[in-house]
Amino acid sequence: MLKHANRSTLHDDVMAQMIKAIKENHWAPGSKLPGEQALAATFGVSRTCIREVLKALAHSGVLEAHPGQGTFLSANADRILNGTQLAVTMFSDSSYTELMQIRQLLEGQAAYWAAERATPEDIDKLEYILRGEERGESLYDIHDTFHNAIVEISGNHLLTKLLNSLRSEIWAQREFHYSLLPDTDRREHWKVLEAMKSGSPHKAREAMVRHVNFFWKKKYDTENDAPEKK
């Protein structure tokens, strides 16, 4: 039975319910899934949230997107999900520090390649994403869309799959992540974009690593500043 997602970890909750529903044959292999708007209403989340979950499942091969027709459940979804669950389990016990180190490695390299390969249209797209708050979009959605766009522009499909295998871990940290100075988060995103505009892959990678490291360091500082328990 699908239900509204837990607000503290929306993506993770929706992903878990989607996987459970597929394993329990809520949708038959090869069948068409409800549209984004219908799924958003079912889970009580934004269409952007649903879009990101569907995209992650599509990258894993669980779903198949057919332009103009909709999203369909892969005939091999159950077999693929067994592998996906192994990937999720592999990272489930990783520490926050380890997760940030992997993100620095993967997302830093994604920014490097994106800076090398970005067209003027790609740069315009990234700037449009960051101006989403002016259109009433949430910082949560802007953050995810910006990072996903960087990876997409990098043009490395295996890198995309590797990052998608970490999505559950990243989303599990999101409640903490978004308690930290969203204004600073937004400024860090702009620094990454400015580095890409400079045409220097090295600067783009450094800016992305600093961005990821900012929240890693902030968590460390927050923990060390916390009063000792008596």
Pick from 8-12, 95-99, 144-148, 197-201: least confident: 8-12
pLDDT higher than 50, residue 152:
yes
The pLDDT tens digits for 44-62 are 888 888 887 888 787 667 8
Alpha helix (H) residue ranges in the chain: 10-23, 36-43, 47-59, 77-92, 96-117, 120-130, 139-154, 157-164, 167-172, 174-177, 182-197, 201-225
Mean residue pLDDT across the chain: 77
- Give me the pLDDT at residue 79, please: 75
pLDDT higher than 70, residue 65:
yes
pLDDT higher than 80, residue 80:
no
The pLDDT tens digits for 102-136 are 888 999 999 999 999 999 999 999 999 999 888 88
Q: What are the structural domains, with CATH classification, of the chain?
A: 7-81 (1.10.10.10), 94-225 (1.20.120.530)
* Prediction pTM value: 0.54
Instruction: Give the mean model confidence (pLDDT) for residues 153-181.
Output: 67
Task: Supply angle C-alpha 186, 187, 189, rounded to 5.
Answer: 65
- Give me the pLDDT at residue 188, please: 80
- Give me the pLDDT at residue 170, please: 66
Q: What Å distances lie between residue 97 and 34, 104, 213, 227, CA to CA?
A: 38, 11, 10, 21
DSSP 62: S
The pLDDT tens digits for 15-43 are 888 888 888 889 988 999 999 999 999 99
DSSP 123-137: HHHHHHHHGGGGGT-
